[in-house]
Structure 1
Amino acid sequence: MNQTYTYKVILVGDSKVGKTSFFIRIIKNVAPRQPQPTIGVEFAQKQIIFKDSMINLKIWDTAGSEKYKSLTSNHFHQSQGALLFYDLTDLYTYENLQYWLKDIYNNADDRIVIIIVGNKLDLIHEGQEVRCISQEKVQQFCKAKNLFYCEISTKTGEGINQLIDLLAINLQARKIQQDVQQQRPRQNCCG
């Protein structure tokens, strides 16, 4: 291992979109059963090897309920990454992405890596539910806002490794960019 990097990552979105299920899947590597709603915030760490580095993800699972909003917003500070979840079968949760994005932008660093996560892909594959909005429209939305996009199923695990890779790549790229900016010589205005 060359180096170890630590990043704070928040899980954000409406209630029942799969944040806690993702949290359980990523931390314990098991399919969640019937997770209880998050009250406030839950925290765990996950170490991954990415290229030649160890990445320590400090993951904060935030409540999607309005009554915990002020508590949740406090955890956006000093986060390097945000996974913003919506339910692929629920248009209301997609429409609320704007609300959550505003909250992230108001409370987090402007260089935060944000990935929009469409969850419950298993329901789309099973044909039980219909997709609430086309994948193309979501991708256009993300492109216009300079966000990343990934679809997953916390139930089956589909797409989760790709999501973690996408997160790691972009957190590392952000870190490198930040390091380069700090190393640039500053111009002396007086001489």
Structure 2
Amino acid sequence: MSNQTISNIVWQGSSVHKPERQQLNGHKSCILWLTGYSGSGKSTLANEVDKRLHQMGVRSYVLDGDNIRHGLNKGLGFTPEDRRENIRRIGEVAKLFVDAGMIPITAFISPFREDRQLVRNLVEPGEFIEVYVKCPLEECEQRDPKGLYKKARIGEIPEFTGVSSPYEEPENPELIIETHRFTIDQSAEKIIQYLMKRI
């Protein structure tokens, strides 16, 4: 996009603001950002948390990495540059959900600290909850629910996190959920308990 095109775009303000939307929904909004290796249980955990929040009357929605790549991020590969663009786009979408007074629950490997920090910076302090879905790489590879590690090990998938591309662990996440030690029910409950103190 040229500078001239950008200069012709003016931000349109909203007549209804985030606090008013939050008041209507009956809770504050924030991003629940689940990060971790493929196979760590991010998507399963995100959906369990979403189900529980729905039952509690909390407005939430799961933004899953694989699902987003079928639409919004279709065409992006797995080079470091494409991974960054993948996270940048979903960060902007998640920000819109927060502005709408909802709780987006994202399930993305999001391997780079810098990219996760970029999303954190998009919202107000306290509105980004980084959840490190921690599971040893060996355990994730043993689970391998989609057969991706096997393909990566024989070179069929390049730039695969944990095999041929790095994963940078969160340094100060709001929550660490060890899915190799706790059940999905226990893990989801831990997130719910944390969240209820903040919304």
Q: Which has the higher strand share?
A: 1
- Sort the TM-score into its range (normalised by shorter chain): 0.3 to 0.5
Asked which structure has the greater RCO (Cα within 8 Å, sep 6+), the reply is 2
TM-score by length of 1: 0.46
